[in-house]
Structure 1
Amino acid sequence: MRVHRAFAALLALGTPALAQDSQQQARAIAGEPVAAPQRLTLADLPEPTGKPIALFDGRSLDGWTAWLGYADPAITYQAKPGATPIGTSRDTKSDFAVREIDGAPAIWVKGETWGSLVHRADLRDYHLRLEFKWGAKTFAPRETLPRNNGLLYHTHGAPGEVFGTWRPSSEFEIMTGSTGMIVAVGGKLRGRTNVSFDPTLIAPHLRYRAGGTEIDIVNGTPTWNVEAATDAERPVGEWNTLDLYVVGDRAVHVVNGVPVAQVRDLATIAPDGTRVPLTHGQIQLQSEGAETWFRGITVEPIKTLPRVVVGE
């Protein structure tokens, strides 16, 4: 999920004053654009401290719970949608199922109705690996926008707490051109990372950069998400491997072996305004407008994060 997508799409479609304002905000936050992208690699991969566990058994959705948002996804980001989320009030077999593709079983996410599959395991200090690929279908209101989905981690809170559709979490974005982007899902979630100003992006024009300007990712502000360092996704129709390394309140996002983002100091904001470290939670697989397949979902315990190295 990319929060405030409607605003970003408006900028992309051509509102010069808004686009200029958003670029000025990004420049004020991160400074002038950098001359060249970074070449990032991984070093010191952690040794697992236990056996891998499969979150998908290859036969069923045992361990996963479905939740659906609004019947009309176009109202999802409205302040007062005037409708009730579907939630668990209907059978979701036409939304999420186990089907065979490329000769093997996978989790099929239709994408037409927005929502998610949440795994029951409460995870901390782990390396998660999965494979995903896009299906052929996209749905309104995003049928002309980039395909969109997401791997949400450190999930907590109530079903539908965020826009009636998702639960609060940190997001490893799955979106054509932006897979690996960092998004804070929910207004009370925070995470720190480093960025550069990239005027070629739609708002907020911020791209992950090792050693760049430190920011706090906060929904509803000019730092609501941070683009992946590079587009490491394979062409639509091919399988991609995602690796998510999480230790405590820190995470590393890796796409097809390429590290594309890091986030640290993940936290929730308590009623008194204090920052409470977020160190564990569940996994959500999103449904957000594009048919998607997932397979090979495993986690193994780790104690350290890999190191992200900047190449020359």
Structure 2
Amino acid sequence: MSLFSRLFLLSSFIVLLTSCEKPWQPIFNGENLDGWDTYIGTALDSFDHLHAQATTDKVFKVVEENGEKLIHISGEVNGSLATVDTFANYHLELVFKWGEQVYTKRNSGLLYHSFGEFGEALGTWMTNIECQLMHEKLGDTYLMNNTVCETEVAKSDDAFVYAKGGKATQFGKDFEGPGIKKAIDAENPLGEWNTVELYTVGRTCVHVVNGKTVMVNTNTGIYEDGQIKPLSSGKIQLQSEGGDLFIKSVRIKPIKEIPAEILN
């Protein structure tokens, strides 16, 4: 074999190694809640009696359905299921469906870039940026406490809706408000599984619902002392907040960039 051929094969092998995609890593191990912390926060409106009886083992547990282990979140009280680990620059996939029990509403959230102590946000959660899981609002953004982002939006019925190419607008409680509506409704019917994907690299975060991009937030940060400080990592929380839901899988893998087709 010639020197040129050997060099060509070596370079091809190096390209193959460097281009290999990192494998998925489960955050839910399919057996128990190892790797997660649990927290009971405030009572749901008019459900103080349930709050008095609530325990973390009751609100957050692993159950078996049709031979498959699932996380069940009861929704009977405001609570948090939070990763022990902190994550940055990743692609996360969450597969969930709503159950039949509703206390106030079918409400939950995928809370990312979470930091601080439980209870700092709305009496229950760590400070965070939320990808809404609430029924009929799946994929919306909600910014808790002093988190902020910049998003291209259009105005519709006194609300801001994500619109690619729209006006870049600063959001947060000290700016245009904490809420941004999803671009389209991609939620599956009640009782069916939904797949929510979160892409986050640096200060850009993308919400994808059942394969459709519904939100792109940029310049994520924390507003303190009149300045915006970058926020690009944190723990992941899942909410108990009014209705029961089942989680089939939560998995994550590191990424260096967000695919162009996801941003377009």
Tell me how far apart the structure 1 counterparts of residues 168 and 34 of structure 2 sit (CA, whole Å): 40
Tell me how far apart the structure 2 counterparts of residues 189 and 49 of structure 1 sit (CA, whole Å): 31
Structure 1 residues 230-269: aligned runs within 5 Å: 230-269=184-223
Long gaps (5+) in structure 2: 1-18
Larger strand proportion of the pair: 2
Q: Which residue of 1 aligns with 2:248?
A: 295
- Residue of 193, 198, 209 corresponding to 2:163: 209
Deviation at 1:258, TM superposition (A): 0.4
Contact 1:48 1:302 survives alignment (8 Å): no
Instruction: Decide which structure has the larger Cα Rg and report it.
Output: 2
Deviation at 1:273, TM superposition (A): 2.2
Structure 1 residues 38-53: aligned runs within 5 Å: 49-53=21-25
Tell me how far apart the structure 1 counterparts of residues 178 and 65 of structure 2 sit (CA, whole Å): 36
Tell me how far apart the structure 1 counterparts of residues 80 and 114 of structure 2 sit (CA, whole Å): 11
Tell me how far apart the structure 2 counterparts of residues 102 and 243 of structure 1 sit (CA, whole Å): 25
RMSD of equivalent CA atoms: 2.3
Matched, 1:148 2:107: yes
Contact 1:183 1:217 survives alignment (8 Å): no
Q: What amino acid sits opposite 1:194 in the alignment?
A: E
Q: Which residue of 2 aligns with 1:93?
A: 57
Compute the TM-score of the two structures, normalised by the length of structure 2: 0.86
**Equivalent residues, number:** 243
Deviation per residue, 1:200-222 (Å, 9 max, x gap): xxxx5111100111111112664
Tell me how far apart the structure 2 counterparts of residues 163 and 233 of structure 1 sit (CA, whole Å): 26
The change in CA–CA distance for 1:217 and 1:120 in structure 2 (over 3 A counts) is same
Deviation per residue, 1:136-170 (Å, 9 max, x gap): 0110xx24xxx211001111011110121111111
Q: Which residue of 2 aligns with 1:13?
A: none
Tell me how far apart the structure 1 counterparts of residues 65 and 189 of structure 2 sit (CA, whole Å): 17
Q: Which residue of 2 aligns with 1:9?
A: none
- Residue of 139, 164, 185 corresponding to 1:180: 139
Deviation at 1:309, TM superposition (A): 5.9
Compute the TM-score of the two structures, normalised by the length of structure 1: 0.73
Structure 1 residues 14-163: aligned runs within 5 Å: 49-70=21-42, 72-74=43-45, 91-139=55-103, 142-143=104-105, 147-163=106-122
Tell me how far apart the structure 2 counterparts of residues 90 and 110 of structure 1 sit (CA, whole Å): 10
